[in-house]
Structure 1
Amino acid sequence: GRSIDVDAEAMPGMAADAAPGRARAARKSRAGGLPAATPAAEPVSAEPVTMYGTSETYTDYGVNPFTMVADDALSTFSIDVDTASFTIARKKIEAGVLPPPEAVRVEEFVNYLDYGYAAPTDGEAFAVHMDAMPDPFRSGHHILRVGVQAREISRDARPPLHLTFLVDVSGSMSSSDKLGLARKSLHMLVDSLREDDTVALATYAGRTAKILDPTPASRKWAIHQAIADLRAGGSTAMASGLDLAYEMAWDSFEPGHENRVIVLSDGDANVGNTSWDDMLSQIKGYADRGVTMSTIGFGMGNYQDTLMEQLSNHGDGNNYYIDDADQARRVFVEELGGTLVTVARDTRIQVEFNPDAVLAYRLIGYENRDIADKDFRNDKVDAGEVGSGHNVTALYDVILADGYARDLATVRLRYEQPGADVDHGGSGGIERAWTFRDRDLAERPDFASRDLRMAYTAATFAEILRHSPEVEELSLDALIAFGDGSRRPGEADDTELIELMRQARTLGAGTRSGVVSVR
């Protein structure tokens, strides 16, 4: 992989409870004109990148180039509901240092904010919402938004949860923003469960330990006590811990219920059978049998972002990073259904652009979620899982044709129902389609919805942080002003996003001094 130089002086210790923040969006910028058919850039190796001065690893997935519609009218990708990248960036910035560009995944900034999409009707699993506006800073560019809203299952109507917590109690987890915050998070989660849910608990350090057999949530006191007794010390045998956790989860497996392993860790694995491919293969095998995985990350200095994201991807689950108690409450209390109750499996989107309306397009983010166009209807190909009430947003930067046609694009969404064809044997897919019409396009940015404008703001901020060539000409001051004028009344997340951008500006974001050099 490539190594990144980070000024050691700019790496203060992480505060145990950094202030909360929230955000999400999607979009980009650059000097105007038709994007000289951006060359299909050299493929990025997607090898984990280690930051100098730390043992943190992140992966550079590159930046999507523009594609000429005449060459390829189809854009196909897996849905992504993760938000870890945003909270990692927030913790870094609030600690006084910019995140490494490789840590920034634009779609996770986009999907951190809630856009208030209307829920699906008539028993449908999803509703799709579309709108567009001219780029506020680049003549000739437009931003198209595709928003997907999943149906919500009420707390009483959801299936029982059978959760196996796998907690990293190695010495690297000893700080209050690691194991201390993990304990707080688990206490919150347990208090949010129904009496017919169950919890099991295992730990790993130099050795693994079964702490609690599957226990009904009606016995909350016993679960809380087991969590409170967790202490850190020793090395890190993650692979052995996964073996134990999945063995426990499989022994208590209940068909038709939500069976999930939840890993709480900094991702550091330095002892035992920690072969990357072995762990991913094991997790994928259990996911195909109906035991999914969520990864919950903590701490800085040795955080293994690449490992935590890929474990959850192969486990048909989700990946969160907890930087403070407010984020824990958001994930495990306010959005518990979306975190742990799956309403659709292997969910993917395909956008087909009309060559009479669109000359070129670029999907903003989702670089590591690309699916071959020919595999859109191949249900054996793994894609993203969506939880109860989750919403997912994707933004496209497009160049419209002169006198463009009325229909800009067709948006197709395909998914499988939870529990159906768990072994990915194929042909269980459900597909829906919507048309993106010119009436969905605002004449001016200030005529567009505040939701779209905030999505643009968050995505473009992420583009600046990851040094995307598409925003080289964009002023962060101008983006802050645009975002500040686009805030939605009563949305604290919007205010926090703008404040985070201001903090990033003081650290050099958007300037050459804010660039982390790559060697």
Structure 2
Amino acid sequence: MERYRIRRLRATLLAFTAAGGLLLTGCGGSDTGDHGSADGATGFPAPDYRQGTGEQDTDGTDDESSEVAPSPDYVSTFALDVDTASYGYARRTLADGRLPDPSTIRPEEFVNSFRQDYERPDGNGFTVTVDGARTNDEDWSLVRVGLATRNARDQHGGRPPAALTFVIDISGSMSEPGRLDLAQKSLDVMTDRLRDDDSVALVTFSDKAETVLPMTRLGGHRGTIHEAIDSLEPTFSTNLAAGVETGYATAVEGLREGATNRVVLISDALANDGDTDPDSILDRIDGARREHGITLFGVGVGSDYGDALMERLADKGDGHTTYVSDPDEARKVFCEQLPKNIDLTARDAKAQGAFDPETVAEFRLVGYDNRRVADDDFRDDHVDGGEFGPGHTVTALYAVRTKPGAVGHLATATVRWQDPETRTPHEESGQVEAASIDQPLWRANSGLQVTALAAYFADALRSGDGDAYSDADTRWSPLPAAPSLPELAERADKLAFSTDTKAIRQLAEAIHRASDLT
């Protein structure tokens, strides 16, 4: 088993000679200020695989290190998402005095749980910020690719109306405090905050599914909606497949042209009745999902939570997941994030990092294990990506080993997305030079530090008993220069104090709990 899942870069100029002449269509460089690339970087565009990228070394040999599996790639391609459920559930588990199962740890969801101050675009799409810093192992750096959508307030004329179908789990397991009761209270508050021209529908499921409330405009009907929410009671088993299928049927029946049509699944995802395979479940509603553009937003609850099922459903349902464990988190999700981010600003977003073989010896993408995309599918707009609304930031982190004396261009990051209405593809790029990542990690800006803390924390939890965790889809082993949990806790305490930020204080508390349990 390989020690690191790292791309071995071949310093062949032939590949980059072919790629370097290919210019991005509709792609602009992004100078991102304090956290962006250095001035004057030459950079490489993302390779256009439709024309070929030149020869690649595929002999599988490795002259420098038998511990690192060689690869012909100098690029890394993946579908974007802004899921945060893994981090939320890990915090809940640690608060209950248990270490989370390593298989539930997805580092990108830890990283993306922290909002960043990346520069934002004026319209739809993304800005691209690339920065980085040296780790305690001077050969290795962390390179951060930051993407941001516009602020919600920047939308001219306000957002379009919403048509939201809430699919609510009322199985017996939802009777635990902090599950159905938490969802009901949050939905009641959200109902009062949505606009009169918004619509909601309610579908419940236990051993079978039922449409409790068809698509209903809020204007003049808030009392009816409150009554439907308050009438929900837990009962029987969990037939999640029936709930999703009925939810999408209800959403299609109440489809509103010109509105944002979305299914919101609220569940502990402990499916024990009917079909429990996410691919099979989504096959049933594939037409509604693709033809009508109805996205799925998964909200996880409960001390026992079917993380893998919910995450898979959201990925395949063109949406994302989050996890709530207390009233403050639920209020934030239902009353702030969901109403504000109802609109879509980008569809099928994918990212690609292209590393310069003249300056980079090895690199590894942190997380996104089940979001990897074949490099030559980057510009294939039939290949599924992630959906984004206003106010989002998303971060990808790379561990990068630079070559001795590296000078000049280090990497270029490109994001590709489709306009949410016209499906016209667009691209934007940012780049970074070797000189701009020379600063020590723990003296870098607070945004980069919290990104590193979150990634290292996920890495420590994922290690379980210290052995590398692996499954059918993923091989993983620790990040280079990983600090111990006590050291991470100390650094998180310092950052929480210097920034006076609640989210970082919560991170520090979670790291302390994990350290005490190991």
Common topology (TM > 0.5): yes
8 A Cα contact 2:238 2:273, kept in partner: yes
Unmatched segments (≥5 aa) in structure 1: 1-33, 41-66, 422-427, 509-519
Q: Distance in 2 between matches of 1:87 and 1:328?
A: 11
8 A Cα contact 1:192 1:332, kept in partner: no
Does residue 464 of the first structure (1) align with residue 465 of the second (2)? no
Residue of structure 2 aligned with 1:495, choices 471, 486, 505: 505
Q: SS of the residue aligned with 1:162? A: strand
Residue of structure 1 aligned with 2:492, choices 483, 496, 504: 483
Q: Distance in 1 between matches of 2:257 and 2:273?
A: 34
What's the TM-score once normalised by structure 1's chain length? 0.80
Query: Which residue in 1 is equivalent to 2:147?
Result: 148
Q: SS of the residue aligned with 1:263? A: strand
Query: Which residue in 2 is equivalent to 1:505?
Result: 515
Query: Which residue in 2 is equivalent to 1:279?
Result: 281
TM-superposed CA distance for 1:434, in Å, is 2.1
Deviations for 1:440-482, whole angstroms, at most 9, x for unmatched residues?
A: 3242234411110111011100100000532596321122222
Q: SS of the residue aligned with 2:200? A: strand
Residue of structure 2 aligned with 1:443, choices 434, 439, 443: 439
Q: Specify whether residues 74 and 35 from structure 1 end up closer, same or farther in structure 2 by C-alpha distance, changes over 3 A only.
A: same
TM-superposed CA distance for 1:340, in Å, is 3.1
Q: Distance in 2 between matches of 1:124 and 1:311?
A: 26
Q: Distance in 2 between matches of 1:442 and 1:339?
A: 37
What's the TM-score once normalised by structure 2's chain length? 0.80
Aligned residues: 438
Q: SS of the residue aligned with 1:201? A: strand
8 A Cα contact 2:359 2:434, kept in partner: no
Q: SS of the residue aligned with 2:173? A: helix
Deviations for 1:187-220, whole angstroms, at most 9, x for unmatched residues?
A: 2322331110001111111232221121112222
Query: Which residue in 1 is equivalent to 2:173?
Result: 172
8 A Cα contact 1:283 1:315, kept in partner: no
Q: SS of the residue aligned with 1:495? A: helix
Q: Distance in 1 between matches of 2:91 and 2:178?
A: 14
8 A Cα contact 2:399 2:479, kept in partner: no
Deviations for 1:249-268, whole angstroms, at most 9, x for unmatched residues?
A: 11121233110111111112
8 A Cα contact 2:125 2:417, kept in partner: no
Residue of structure 2 aligned with 1:223, choices 215, 225, 236: 225
Output the amino acid matched with 1:498. Answer: A
Q: Specify whether residues 409 and 495 from structure 1 end up closer, same or farther in structure 2 by C-alpha distance, changes over 3 A only.
A: same
Q: Distance in 1 between matches of 2:429 and 2:143?
A: 16
Where in structure 2 are the equivalents of 1:60-79 lying within 5 Å? 71-79=72-80
Q: SS of the residue aligned with 2:495? A: coil
8 A Cα contact 1:337 1:387, kept in partner: no
TM-superposed CA distance for 1:38, in Å, is 4.5
Does residue 430 of the first structure (1) align with residue 426 of the second (2)? yes
Unmatched segments (≥5 aa) in structure 2: 1-62, 469-476
Q: SS of the residue aligned with 2:415? A: strand
In terms of mean alpha carbon deviation, does 350-359 or 432-441 score higher?
A: 432-441
Q: Distance in 2 between matches of 1:215 and 1:199?
A: 5
Query: Which residue in 2 is equivalent to 1:241?
Result: 243
Output the amino acid matched with 1:149. Answer: A
Query: Which residue in 2 is equivalent to 1:355?
Result: 357
Q: Distance in 2 between matches of 1:274 and 1:142?
A: 41
8 A Cα contact 1:264 1:298, kept in partner: yes
Identity %: 37
Q: Distance in 2 between matches of 1:379 and 1:396?
A: 25
Output the amino acid matched with 2:315. Answer: N
TM-superposed CA distance for 1:81, in Å, is 0.2
Q: Distance in 2 between matches of 1:446 and 1:465?
A: 21
Query: Which residue in 2 is equivalent to 1:133?
Result: 133
Q: Distance in 2 between matches of 1:446 and 1:277?
A: 42
Does residue 103 of the first structure (1) align with residue 113 of the second (2)? no
Alpha-carbon RMSD across the aligned residues, in angstroms, is 2.1
Q: Distance in 2 between matches of 1:204 and 1:339?
A: 26
Q: SS of the residue aligned with 2:296? A: strand
Q: Specify whether residues 161 and 139 from structure 1 end up closer, same or farther in structure 2 by C-alpha distance, changes over 3 A only.
A: same
Q: SS of the residue aligned with 1:342? A: coil
8 A Cα contact 1:130 1:440, kept in partner: no
Q: Distance in 1 between matches of 2:265 and 2:124?
A: 32
TM-superposed CA distance for 1:232, in Å, is 0.7
TM-superposed CA distance for 1:322, in Å, is 1.2
Output the amino acid matched with 1:348. Answer: K
Q: Distance in 1 between matches of 2:197 and 2:505?
A: 39
Query: Which residue in 1 is equivalent to 2:199?
Result: 198
Q: Specify whether residues 139 and 431 from structure 1 end up closer, same or farther in structure 2 by C-alpha distance, changes over 3 A only.
A: same
